[in-house]
Each structure stands twice: as structure tokens, then as C-alpha cells.
Amino acid sequence: MRVSTATSSRSDSRVFTVVVQGYGTAQARNAERSITVPFVRLQTVMQSISQLGGKVLSVTPCSEAPAPAAAKPAATKPATTKPAVSHADVPVNLYKPKDPFVGSVTENYSLLAEGAIGRVNHITFDLSGGDPQLHYVEGQSIGIIPDGADANGKPHKLRLYSIASTRHGDNLEGNTVSLCVRQLQYEKDGETINGVCSTFLCDIEPGAKVKITGPVGKEMLLPDDEEANVIMLATGTGIAPMRTYLRRMFEPAEREKNGWQFRGKAWLFMGVPTTANLLYDDDFNRYQAEFPDNFRYTKAISREQQNPSGGRMYIQDRVSENAEEIFTWIENPKTHVYMCGLRGMEPGIDEAMTAAAAAKGLDWAELRPQLKKAERWHVETY
């Protein structure tokens, strides 16, 4: 084994490439892999490799011997030389705020069970009759311009909402779009303030006309590969894009329509405050019963379940609990991870992923941008 830590700089910012054999998942065990490790973590990683029966072949400063692409850990490699997600046929901005499409509401119903906190509705709009036809793909968002004017008498600005239906719509006729909207409510100076657009949408009646823009977004597109693995991390209305993926993967009539015969594995982590706040739960339970080899559904119900330290069970606690397996999935270049929900979920997930990666001898701060570059790490938080 060759180990070189020689460098002119002794600062902790140094990064090393550790080439190792017989370490990692069964799949990666025989292969020679290189792991990029910051100096501060080098000792821990070397210990972890030795404890897990791996053999270190060399340690070199990255500047001295940059790891060739082929020697990077499996998790950092794109699945193919083509982009993992095809962007070519993705429609963008067919309707702009100055000249929006006017759709009509076909349904608006609560997704929550008795005793839930707040208000979350499933709202569908008829898109027929547009020129061009407003169409979209799974993972995109649309803009809604609420009726009325702001405090300065100007028309309200648009708000974005993740699309919750597949490109074929809930009716499979290709002429509707559905959203999953939580009414924003907060207290200010002893007064309850209702969010403008979310309240407009939650209160809207079937038949009402609504100004719609878009579609927009290419961050949350699904890979084309029918054998991809998809890990989904959602809190609250962050379930919207995940619902589109899961319908595309497992809803029998949708599957028949889309001809996309998903054969990979999907794993949904869903975080909500109470059981009554679970969204589309019956559908997901049905998919799990019908496709037990392809779909896993893990719930974090913060006000009802406890994490191992006795605190509330949040989605990041479920990620930590399943860290070993999540990283085994991520080591497979066919695995994509999607995160969606309130922005506040990000630090917790990041912390859980950092710890999970470290247990595998990987550095999450290094790995995450590589996964992103390979179009395998997708985040939309708001």
C-alpha cells in the first residue's frame, strides 16, 4: 500500500484520495474504489475501512493524484454517458403572467382526515381549449395568479405550485392538472393572517376560472430509465411531485396509458405531524400491497411517534434509522433521490445524510454535489 500525505500545506482543508478494495456493499466489494476524504476525517475513514475488512491500497493528496473518473466511487458516477433525465421534450413557460391560460376548477376537496392540523386540498383544473394546449410532465410546477389586488392596488403576483397529477391528469384524458395546496396561516400581532393565493385556492368552487402560468421547472424530472431506483423525501405538500411519480410507476390505468413499465425500486419517506395529516395515504398503501417488491413507504409522524432519543419522529430520524440501506441504494448509479417540502426540512436531512455517509466512509459534503452533477440528487423546497 502506498500512503502519501506529503504536502506543502498543513491546513485542514487538504483532501485525500483513498483507494480501497474489499470494502462497501457486496456489489462494490471486489472492485477497487477510490474515496475522497478531507484530512480531518482521514483517520476515522481508515479505521472504518479496516473494521469492515477492507484493504487500503493507497492514500494520496487530491492535488498530487486526482482520482481518474473511472476510479470514483460508484455513487458518484452517472448511470450512463447520456443525461440521466431527458430534458429535451419538457415544455416550459407555454403561458406567461402577462397572458395566462384561464382554466376552470373541476374539483376541490380536502385531503385531510378528521382531527388533522390545518387545511390541505386537492384541486383540479380543466386545461382544455388552450392554444397552445397547456401540457406538462411529472415533476414540474405551474403558477397561479390569484384574483384581486395587493395592498398597492396592483394585481397579485403568481405563486408556484408543484403539479400533483401525471401528464395524463387524474382523469387520464390529458386535459387537466391537479395541485396539493396547504392554506398558509400564521399569527401576527394577535391576528390570524391567511396566505393570499393558498386561501384563494383552498376556498375556490368548481366552475370558477383561474389564471394559470407555466409549466416551469426541470429540477424534479424523473429519469427515463424504467429500472431506476427512486428515493423520495417529502414533508407535507412536498408529496405533490412524489404522487405524480408514484402514479406513473404504480397506478394501473396510468401505467397502461404511459407505457413506462417501471421495474426499479421506489422508497417514499413521508413526514407529517399527525396520522390525519397523511396525504394520499390510501393510494400509497395500495401500491405497497400491490407492488411489495418495488415500493416501500416509511412514515414519520412527528406528534405521534418517538425517535430513538425519545423526541418527536421527524423525516430525518427515519433517514438516520435507514441510513445503511439508503446509502447502499445510493451506491447504485441507477438511484435518484428527490426531496420536496418546506425549506426547513433541508438542514435535518443534510445532517442525517452526513452521518449516514460517514458511517460508510463517505463524505456527504463531497458526494452531494457529485450526485447533483450526475442528475441524481433533486431538491425543490420552498
Instruction: Output the CA angle 267-379-323, nearest 5 degrees.
Output: 45
Residue 344: partners with Cβ closer than 8 Å, 6 or more residues away: none
Instruction: Name the residue nearer to ligand FAD (CB basis): 32 or 283.
Output: 283
382 as an active site residue: the answer is yes
Q: Among residues 163 and 330, whose Cβ is nearest to ligand FAD? A: 163
The piece of 104-112, 157-165, 257-265, 325-333 that touches ligand FAD (CB under 6 A) is 157-165
Among the options 138, 251, 331, 380, which is catalytic? Answer: 380
Beta bridge partners of 378: 338
Q: Which of residues 19-58 bind ligand FAD (CB under 6 A)?
A: none
Strands in the chain per DSSP E? 2-3, 15-21, 32-38, 55-61, 101-110, 120-126, 141-145, 159-162, 176-182, 185-188, 191-194, 209-216, 229-235, 266-272, 295-301, 335-341, 377-381
Site for ligand FAD (CB under 6 A): which residue of 42, 57, 62, 160?
160
Q: Between residues 200 and 327, which has the closer beta carbon with respect to ligand FAD?
A: 200
Q: Which residue's CB is nearer to ligand FAD, number 145 or number 349? A: 145
Instruction: Tell me, yes or no, if 340 is annotated catalytic.
Output: yes
106 close to 125: Cβ distance less than 8 angstroms? yes
Which range, of 123-131, 174-182, 285-293, 343-351, touches ligand FAD by CB under 6 A?
174-182
CB of 172 to ligand FAD, least distance (A): 21
Binding residue for ligand FAD, selected from 184, 208, 355, 358, defined by CB under 6 A: 184
DSSP 8-state code for residue 195: P
**According to the binding rule CB under 6 A, does residue 240 interact with ligand FAD?**
yes
Nearer to ligand FAD, 18 or 177 (CB): 177
User: Per rule CB under 6 A, is residue 162 in the interface with ligand FAD?
Assistant: yes
State in angstroms the smallest separation of the CB of 332 from ligand FAD.
28
Q: Which region, judged by CB under 6 A, interacts with ligand FAD, from 4-12, 182-190, 268-276, 353-361? A: 182-190
* CB-based contact 76:244 (threshold 8 Å): no
Cell numbers at 364, concatenated: 456527504
197 is catalytic: no
Cell 413526514 -> residue: 271
Interaction mask 76-115, ligand FAD, x per CB under 6 A: ----------------------------------------
Integer-rounded Cα Rg, in Å, for the chain is 23
| Beta bridge partner(s), residue 196 | none
Q: Does 152 bind ligand FAD (CB under 6 A)?
A: no
Residue 152, exposed/middle/buried by CB under 10 A (0-12, 13-18, 19+)? exposed
Q: What is the DSSP string of 214-247?
A: EEE-STTPPPS-TT-EEEEEEEGGGHHHHHHHHH
* Residues facing residue 341 across a β-bridge: 381
At its nearest, how many Å lie between ligand FAD and the CB of residue 342? 9
Using rule CB under 6 A, residue 379 touches ligand FAD:
no
Q: Given the complex with ligand FAD, which of 55 and 343 has the nearer CB atom?
A: 343
Q: At what angle do helices 323-330 and 345-359 cross, to 10 degrees?
A: 80
Binding status of residue 380 toward ligand FAD by CB under 6 A: yes
Residue 180 carries which side chain, given as an amino acid letter? Answer: C
Through-space distance between the first and last CA atoms of the chain, rounded to whole angstroms: 48
φ, ψ of residue 36 in degrees (nearest 5): -95, 125
Query: Which member of 17, 106, 176, 198 binds ligand FAD (CB under 6 A)?
Result: 198
Q: Minimal CB distance to ligand FAD: which residue?
A: 195
Q: What is the DSSP letter of 273?
A: S
Using the minimum distance from each CB to ligand FAD, give the nearer residue, 41 or 182.
182
CB nearer to ligand FAD: pick between 92 and 359: 92
Q: Which residue has the cell 387520464?
A: 172
| Shortest distance, position 186 Cβ to ligand FAD, whole Å | 3
In this chain, which of 108, 140, 141, 166 binds ligand FAD, going by CB under 6 A? Answer: 141
What are the catalytic residues? 161-162, 340, 380, 382
Site for ligand FAD, rule CB under 6 A? 141, 159-162, 180-182, 184, 186, 188, 195-199, 237, 240, 380, 382
